[in-house]
Amino acid sequence: MGFRMQRRDFTLVCALTACGVSVKAAAQHGGDGDWPNRRVRWIVSQPSGSGPDILARYLAELLAKVWEQAVVVDNRPGGQNIIGAQAAARSAPDGYTFYYATTAAIITNTLTFKSLPYQPERDFIPVRLIGRSAFVIAAGRGFQGSSMASVIAKAKAIAGTLSIATEGPKTLSGILADSVAAMAGIRFTHVPYSRAVEGIQDVMGGRVGLICLPEAALLPFIRSGQLRALAVSTAERSSVLPDVPSLAETFPGFEFSGWNALFAPTGTPSYITSRVERDVDRLLKQPDVVARLLSLGSIAEVDPPSGGFDAFLRDERERWSRMAKVISLSAEW
């Protein structure tokens, strides 16, 4: 009997091996198997040193220790996130490539482009929401006014003269600026910048009146006194800028934030995406990780969204579609 059992087990192992299934994976009945047994790649569609890149690298370093494999950040900037998103969508769904994505790549690009070489709902599996980031409206030291009320009054007094630096009218910062203008009954003159630092320099130099960018990008200049924060975009005041009013204090019920999340190419095995989700979830529940993300301008999503990530994305698509109608945002490219 003992010999027959050994022979049967040997035959099973040979059959599984022929089918490309590892013995360890089979023993775990579809569990994590030996994943990862080589380095994992995270595609980021922003340049090195940007807010999403810094956040991605921090989390990648932590997960590399958990997985005992390198987690490499692959920056693919350009084209309003299209280059990076397309590269991620076309990657092999083998569990070794993930897309560290932002709201723009997954949601707003579908509203601002007539066609895309990737389709977020078709090409990606949502893995885990990581954090949300506030935006800040700020002014240079020479700007006459210290509140949103003064900004609105100035814009109404001399129509069309109040300029605001953004990443472009169809980016998150531009959409926020136009949303504020629509609610206030004013208009801003957009001054788009492909590099945030150039916009910041022009506002500090007085060449542009205001700036609207993610909190992480502006925080060092606000703390140094080179920029004066007028409002944050989240419903509540930011814990790192507690003296700065939220836009909801001027426009009740208003809330605007960008988010970052991890996605996998469609077809990635579920046991791998589930493993990644669990490991990221454990990290985001650690107080030191939460504190570090906050210092980098991101509010950690400690608990997954109510109803799940898929439901969150459906809500986001509906919310941004409504906002696009309010500001008459249309696809032009």
Do residues 262 and 128 both lie within one domain? yes
For residues 146 and 120, membership in a common domain is answered with no
Residues 128 and 201 in one domain: no
Q: Give pLDDT, residue 25.
A: 38
What was the pLDDT predicted at 11?
Answer: 42
Q: Are 230 and 147 in contact (CB under 8 A)?
A: yes
Those residues whose C-beta lies under 8 Å from the C-beta of residue 16, and which sit 6 or more positions away, are: 22, 23, 26
Q: Are residues 280 and 302 in the same domain?
A: yes
pTM, entire model = 0.81
Report if residue 282 sits inside a domain: yes
Q: How many structural domains compose the chain?
A: 2
24 domain-assigned: no
Any domain includes 333: no
- ∠ CA 293-176-144, nearest 5°, is 95
Q: Say how many Å lie between the first and final Cα of the chain, rounded.
A: 71
Q: Which two tokens stand for residue 227?
A: 């920029």
Residue 222 forms part of a structural domain: yes
Q: Give me the helix-helix angle, 51-67 and 287-295, nearest 10°.
A: 160
Give the C-alpha separation, 204 to 311, whole Å: 41
Local confidence pLDDT in tens for the 333 residues of the chain = 343 444 444 444 444 444 444 333 333 334 567 999 999 999 999 888 888 898 999 999 999 999 999 999 999 998 889 999 999 999 999 999 999 999 999 999 999 999 999 999 999 999 999 999 999 999 998 898 889 999 999 999 887 779 999 988 888 899 999 999 999 999 999 999 878 889 999 999 999 999 999 888 898 899 999 999 999 998 899 988 999 999 999 999 998 989 999 999 999 999 999 999 999 999 999 999 999 999 888 999 999 888 899 999 999 999 899 888 888 888 766
Quick one: pLDDT at residue 18?
42
Q: Indicate if 209 and 107 belong to the same structural domain.
A: no
Inter-residue contact 278 to 66 (CB < 8 Å): no
Residues 54, 77 share a domain: yes
Predicted pLDDT at 333: 63
Question: Which of 196, 220, 249 delimits the end of a domain?
Answer: 249
CB 140 within 8 A of CB 64: no
H or E element in which residue 71 lies: strand 71-75
CA 273, CA 7: separation in Å to the nearest integer?
35
Query: In the structure encoding, which two tokens stand for residue 127, read together?
Result: 């893995």
Q: For Cα atoms 259, 263, 267, give the angle at the middle one, nearest 5 degrees.
A: 160
**At 150, which amino acid appears?**
S
Is residue 73 situated within a structural domain? yes
The answer to whether residue 122 sits within a structural domain is: yes
The last residue of one of the domains, among 249, 283, 314, is 249
Residue 290, domain CATH: 3.40.190.150
Chain-centroid distance, C-alpha 149: 30
The 10 Å CB-count burial string (b at 16+, else e) for 212-251 is bbbbbbbbebbeeebbbbbbbbbbebbebbeebbbbbbbe
Do the domain assignments include residue 4? Answer: no
Based on the domain organization, do 57 and 84 belong to the same domain? Answer: yes
What range defines the domain where residue 80 resides?
A: 40-133+257-326
Residues 115 and 127: their CA atoms lie apart, in Å, by 25
Among 249, 281, 306, identify where a domain stops: 249
Task: Name the percent of the chain in helix, strand, coil, to the closest 5.
Answer: 45, 20, 35
- Claim to verify: residue 101 and residue 120 sit in the same structural domain: yes
Neighbour tally for 316: CB within 10 Å: 16
Residues 102 and 184 both lie in one domain: no
What phi and psi values does residue 166 have, to the nearest 5 degrees?
-140, 180
Residues 93 and 265 sit within 8 Å (Cβ to Cβ): yes
Q: Please, are residues 82 and 117 in contact by the beta-carbon 8 Å criterion?
A: yes
pLDDT of residue 31: 56
Q: How far apart are CA 86 and CA 284, in angstroms?
A: 28
Q: Residues 161, 223: one domain? A: yes
**Same domain? 274 vs 210:** no
9 CB burial (10 A radius; 0-12, 13-18, 19+): exposed
Q: At 144, which CATH number?
A: 3.40.190.10
Same domain, 139 and 178: yes
Q: Is 312 helix (H, G, I), strand (E, B) or coil?
A: helix
